[in-house]
Homo-oligomer: A and B are copies of this chain.
Amino acid sequence: MQLRGSVAAGIDNVQAAEAMAYVARHAGVTVPVLIEVDCGLRRAGVPRGPPVLKLAKQVARLSGLHLRGVFTHAGHAYAAQSPAAVARIGRAEGEVLVETAASAASSRHCVEIVSVGSTPTARYAGAVPGLTEFRPGNYVFYDRMQVALGAAQLEDCALTVLARVISRPDPGRLVIDAGSKTFALDRGAHGTDALAGFGQAPAQELVLERLSEEHGMLSRGVDPRSVELGDRLRFVPNHACTLANLAEMLLGVRGDRVTELLDVLVRGGGR
C-alpha cells in the first residue's frame, strides 16, 4: 500500500454539502471533500451501502465541491474489551470502507482516497488491501490507554509528565504539583471509562488516584522509604492527545538532556 497525505473536508449530509458548495462558489474555490462513513462508532457519518451512494450522487452534482473519496474512524475500538476485539473492529473498519469505495467506484464516483484511521486499529485496518490512507494520531506518543488496548507497551510511551512531590501529609500519602489542568481527566477515549486512575509512575509502581486542578493525589501502594518530599516522579498519562493539548510547550529529551523545545500549536481554538 502506498500512502499519501491529503487535506479535505468531511461530509455526511447533503444540507451541509450544499452550504459548503455555496460558500466555495462565492469564494471562487473548489473544496475537496470526503464522505464520512460510520463503521460503528455512531458519531458522525453515513451508514455503509445505499446512503453513501445517494450522498455521493448528490455531492457530485454540486459545483464548488470536488468529491475525492471516503473516510471512516473506528473510535469504538477504544471500548473494546480485548486485543482480539480491537483486531476484529480494525479489520471490519478496513473492509467496510473498501467495499463502500468499490460500490461507489462502480457507480462511477471518484474514490481516489479511501481513508481509515485510529491508533489501536491501525495495524489491522491498515492491512486490508484497497486503502490509500490511514490517520492514526495517538501513535506519535502512545499512552496508557493504548497500553490497555494492547496497541503499545508502557516503554513505547514517549510523552510523560515529570511532577514533583510537593506535600506529604502523612508517610503513605503524596501530593504532586500536577492536576487535571496537566493530565486532563480522560479515563478512555470517546466516553469510555476503562482505566483506573489518571496516570501511572512505572518506576515507583504508583497510580495517580485523584486530581484537583493543580494537585494530584496518591496513596495506594506508596512505600514511605522509596519516595521523598521534593522527588520528581515520571508519569505515563492516560491520554496523550488531551494532555499535549493542555501544554504550551513540550520538552524533547534524550536521556537526561533536554534537546528540543516543541511548541504546541493549534490549540485553544486558535485566534
Contact = CB atoms under 8 A, between A and B. Distances in A.
B182 A184 contact: no
A109 interface: no
Given A180-B184, A229-B13, A242 B213 contact: yes
Residue from A15, A169, A230 with most neighbouring chain B CB atoms (10 Å)? A169
A182 to B, nearest CB: 7
Contacts of A249: 268-269, 271
Interface in A10-35: 12-13, 15-16, 19
A101 B184 CA distance: 36
A95 interface: no
A19 B16 CA distance: 60
A167 B42 CA distance: 11
A196 interface: no
A168 B13 contact: yes
Interface string A213-246: 1010100000000000110000000000110011
Given A75-B212, A211-B191, A169 B42 contact: yes
A181 interface: yes
A242 B169 contact: no
Contact of A12 (B169, B230, B268, B269): B169
Interface string A256-270: 000000001001111
A38 B167 CA distance: 12
A247 interface: yes
Contact of A248 (B12, B209, B211, B269): B269
A61 interface: no
B248 A43 contact: no
Interface in A166-216: 166-169, 173, 175, 180-182, 184-186, 189-191, 209-213, 215
A167 B13 contact: yes
A249 B43 CA distance: 28
B242 A15 contact: no
7 contacts: A12-B167, A15-B229, A42-B173, A43-B175, A182-B269, A213-B245, A248-B269
Interface of A: 12-13, 15-16, 19, 38, 42-46, 75, 166-169, 173, 175, 180-182, 184-186, 189-191, 209-213, 215, 217, 229-230, 241-242, 245-249, 264, 267-271
